[in-house]
Structure 1
Amino acid sequence: MLAMLVNGSSHLQEKIPVLSPWVDADLGVPADEVATSLARQKGRRVVKTHTPADGFPIWEGVTVIAVYRHPLDIFFSLRKHEANKKVVTPDHPMSLPVPESILRFIDEPVDPEDFDKDTLASVTLHYSKTVLSGRYPNLNVSHYSDMLRDGHRTVRHLARAAGIEADAELIDQVAEATAFSAMKARAVDYAPVGGTGYWKSDAGFFDSGSSGKWEGKLSPAEIDLFNTRLAELVPNERARTWLLAGDG
């Protein structure tokens, strides 16, 4: 959405991952290639990162937009992504049976040497350091479940957050082009490293475009364990409720 808004059109000259690279992802694209691609772009640029806000400087003129989703939706999404990789990582936690995998996700601590090792602790640490710390001024925060409810409203919100003047025609273009079905149909252009063979299926990267992936897949005991651990990691009830469901 942001890449299209910045470029003033849903018709882009490059694939989304080229125009808006995921700068800290180890997906087989050398860092110098990413830097060169960004340097070629004129005007404002859009990059994606999973680094918490305490991991990069406060740059004047840079707009930071953070998006969160229910941690259990993250868990099941990660399992789908791991299963969709052509090259399997041996004994990856997300490849284990759900009962073992969810316990590791809930219980294991943050690994400072491997922050991409996704656990509930790493998800909530990102949230705490980015949103709850108040470190980054004028931070714009959205929840995935809220974004799903109204694509047009989401595009308008992002345009305002980024200070982009977007007329109704552009809002319509971007909302239509970024609808889940439209992105899945053009997965080779929209999925990270689409068209490179990294994924078994580029379209498989776009699983369902929904929230509540975990419903009916976990036992009551597993859900209780999750809620108990989440309360330890995010003691503030209001902050915890928002992380689970957004503004509702």
Structure 2
Amino acid sequence: MRYSSPDEDSARWDGFPFREGDIIISTRSKSGTTWMQMICALLVFQDPELPAPLPELSPWLDWLIVPRDRVYAQLNRQEHRRFIKTHTPLDGIPLDPRATYIVVARHPLDMAVSLFHQGENLNRERMAQLLSEPPGTPVERSPAAPPAEASTAPDPTAPPSIRDSLLAWIDRDVAPADALDSLPGVLWHLTDAWRRRHDPNIVVVHYADLVDDLEGEMRRLAFTLAIDVPEERWPLLVEAAGFTQMRARAERLAPDPAGIMKDRNAFFRRGGSGSGRELLTDDEFAHYEKRAAELAPDDLLTWLHR
């Protein structure tokens, strides 16, 4: 299936020359993508001092901001084990037996809140320039923000509050492929991965497990990827993968090779869980759970919402 948006196109995967050992990181926006890229970088290089900025080591293949041929050439030059970023669900990219696919799942409410803040941190004019759109071209405020008519803010010209945005995001009824960062899109992505989780080259990781037991999850991934890490290196690598250390190195780690962020430090905003639930009343949260139950299987939601 092909997925496309104003700044992404999964068709850029067509004809991609895989190598033995490739690692494909498939996530929804603000669900732990950069965190997983950093973990993979630390496992591959086994040194907190990476040889290049993280977006160069792990490019986003389906991002239209950077020409496809340039990304392919960049990956072709890499001699290390490659780990590649995509926001495309697994049913939209080639599933090659030589590659391992890692899907990171985050509680959808937390993802939506983080996405709202990320939208506030993007330079939309810069994005329009890079996409060769004329100056002043409207660019959607944030995938988490509701349509204007959905806002309940007293001033209809004012940006929606984060709470109003979250409530509208929960109720937004859209085809998953038309808005992958909507609730239907998020649960589509995760349901597809969940159904493949027993395949030998598919790994599903919960964001909360990275928060609660980073070392355990890193060791699990190293085992799955058949990467041997000397025991004495583990404390250093785990520390480098922690939120505090990553935020301190935002200039080299934030996914901003084209300079579209207003503040790279703001990309690493909180790094925890529960921010979405905090914004909702009990009734509103129950409504969210009902909506989610209409969109995903019970066993996935039990795992995802724990």
TM-score range, shorter chain: 0.7 to 0.9
2:99/2:201 contact within 8 Å kept: no
Give aligned-pair identity as a percent: 36
The two structures, once aligned, show a CA RMSD in angstroms of 2.1
Structure having greater relative contact order (Cα 8 Å, sep ≥ 6): 1
Mapped contact 1:130–1:136 kept (Cα < 8 A): no
* Aligned counterpart for 1:64 among listed residues 90, 101, 106: 101
Deviation of 1:109 after TM superposition, in Å, equals 2.0
- Aligned AA (1:241): T
State the alpha-carbon separation in 2 of the partners of residues 105 and 143 from structure 1.
Answer: 22
Correspondences of 1:146-161 after superposition (within 5 Å): 146-161=209-224
| Structure 2 gap segments, 5+ residues each | 1-38, 126-138, 146-159
**Quick check: 128-137 or 30-39, which moved more?**
128-137
Query: What SS is found at the alignment partner of 1:64?
Result: strand
For 2:106 and 2:233, locate their aligned partners in 1 and report how far apart those are by CA, in whole Å. Answer: 26
Query: CA–CA distance in 2 between the matches of 1:35 and 1:203?
Result: 29
CA distance in 2, matches of 1:67, 1:90: 25
Shift of 1:123: 0.6
2:253 aligned with 1:216: no
Q: Deviations over 1:174-213 (max 9, x none)?
A: 211111111101101111015x431111010001110111
Rate the CA distance shift 1:19–1:227 in 2: closer, same or farther, 3 A.
same
Q: Which runs of 5+ in 1 are unaligned?
A: none
Q: CA deviation at 1:34?
A: 1.7
SS of residue in 1 equivalent to 2:204 = strand
What is the Cα deviation at residue 62 of structure 1?
0.6
Counterpart of 1:242? 303
Asked if 1:143 is matched to 2:181, the reply is no
What secondary structure does 1:210 align onto?
coil
Q: How many residues are paired up? A: 240
Per the alignment, residue 203 of structure 1 pairs with 265
- What SS does the aligned partner of 1:66 have? strand
Between Structure 1 and Structure 2, the one with more strand by share is 2
- The 5-angstrom pairing of residues 80-229 of structure 1 reads 80-87=117-124, 89-92=139-142, 94-95=144-145, 96-107=160-171, 108-112=173-177, 114-116=178-180, 118-133=181-196, 136-193=199-256, 196-229=258-291
Alignment CA distance shift 1:134-1:203 (3 Å): closer
Select 1:12's aligned residue among 25, 50, 58: 50
TM-score (norm 1): 0.88
- 1:35 to 1:115, Cα distance in 2 relative to 1, 3 A: farther
Change (3 A) 1:133 1:155: closer
Q: Which residue of 1 aligns with 2:70?
A: 33
CA distance, structure 2, for counterparts of residue 212 and residue 163 of structure 1: 33
- Quickly say closer, same or farther: Cα 1:184–1:99, change in 2 above 3 A: closer
- Partners of 2:184 and 2:61 lie apart in 1 by 22
Q: Secondary structure at the match of 1:170?
A: helix
Give the TM-score normalised by the residue count of structure 2: 0.72
